[in-house]
Amino acid sequence: MNARTADWPDRLFETLKRGGVRQVCYVPDAGHARLIERCRADRGIRDVALTTEEEGVALAAGAWLGGERAVLLMQSSGVGNCVNMFSLARTCRFPLLMFITMRGEWEEFNPWQVPMGSIIDPVLKLCEAKVYRAHAPAEVAGNAERAIQHAFGDERIAAVILSQELIGKKVWTK
């Protein structure tokens, strides 16, 4: 991956800033490391580390009640943790914008990642999320713009999936 394509997390950060995002919550993930670093360093963004992803669904609802835009970052395994809490966004039409890094779909070493990773598309769709997917670095910011529009413009759930081939495989031996 060359220097230009590897900077997609910076392009994504700039898109979130331009979209008026003020709260960024996450369960840490290697694929989101650079984006989390940018958010933590930005005085205009409150970064909120979570113990489990469903906390972020509730945080985003509270943020919107108070007039702020929030974003939830997680790994694909986190989607399963959120399913019941998605009811809050679905029942009340809270905007919910998620960026989900994939595990278990491409050159995955750890088989325990596969069961959740293999079903997140249908799970998200069943939960009424509009699902966007970026396979390549150049597709990230554009998908983010469309998802921001869908989530905050229409008070809906939007999920941008960042494919494992985009993130790269986890290195298990050093």
Partner 1 sequence: MKLERRAAMAALLAGRGDDLLVIPGLGSTAWDAASAGDNDRNFYLWGAMGGAAMIGLGLALAQPDCRVAVITGDGEMLMGLGSLATIGIQQPRNLAVIVFDNGVYGETGMQPSHTQAGVDLIGVARGCGIASCLDVRDEKELADLARRLQNLRETLFARVQIAAEEPPRVLPLRDGVALKNRFRVAIGIETRPVGAQERSGQCGFEPL
Residue with tokens 């009424």: 128
Residue span binding partner 1 (CB under 8 A) among the ranges 49-57, 107-115, 117-125, 133-141:
49-57
SS3 74: strand
Among 10, 41, 62, 114, binds partner 1 (CB under 8 A): 62
Q: In which element (H, E) is residue 26 found?
A: strand 21-26
Q: State which residue, 151 or 161, has the beta carbon closest to partner 1.
A: 151
Q: Which residues contact 25 (CB under 8 A, 6 or more apart)?
A: 47, 48, 49, 50, 55, 56, 59, 60, 70, 71, 72, 73
Q: State which residue, 41 or 114, has the beta carbon closest to partner 1.
A: 41
Among 1, 6, 41, 49, binds partner 1 (CB under 8 A): 49
Instruction: Show the 3-state SS of 82-134.
Output: HCCCHHHHHHHCCCEEEEEECCCCCCCCCHHHHHHHCCHHHHHHHCCEEEEEE
Among 153, 165, 168, 169, binds partner 1 (CB under 8 A): 153
Q: How far is the CB of 88 from partner 1 (least distance, A)?
A: 4
Query: Applying CB under 8 A, does 18 fall inside the site for partner 1?
Result: yes
Q: Which of residues 64-103 bind partner 1 (CB under 8 A)?
A: 64-68, 70, 84-85, 87-88, 91-94
Q: How far is the CB of 18 from partner 1 (least distance, A)?
A: 6
Query: Applying CB under 8 A, does 28 fall inside the site for partner 1?
Result: no
Whether the CB-CB separation of 121 and 60 falls below 8 Å is answered with: no
Spatial distance between the Cα atoms of 148 and 159, rounded to a whole number of angstroms: 10
Q: Applying CB under 8 A, which residues contact partner 1?
A: 18-20, 22-23, 46, 48-52, 54-68, 70, 84-85, 87-88, 91-94, 145, 148-155
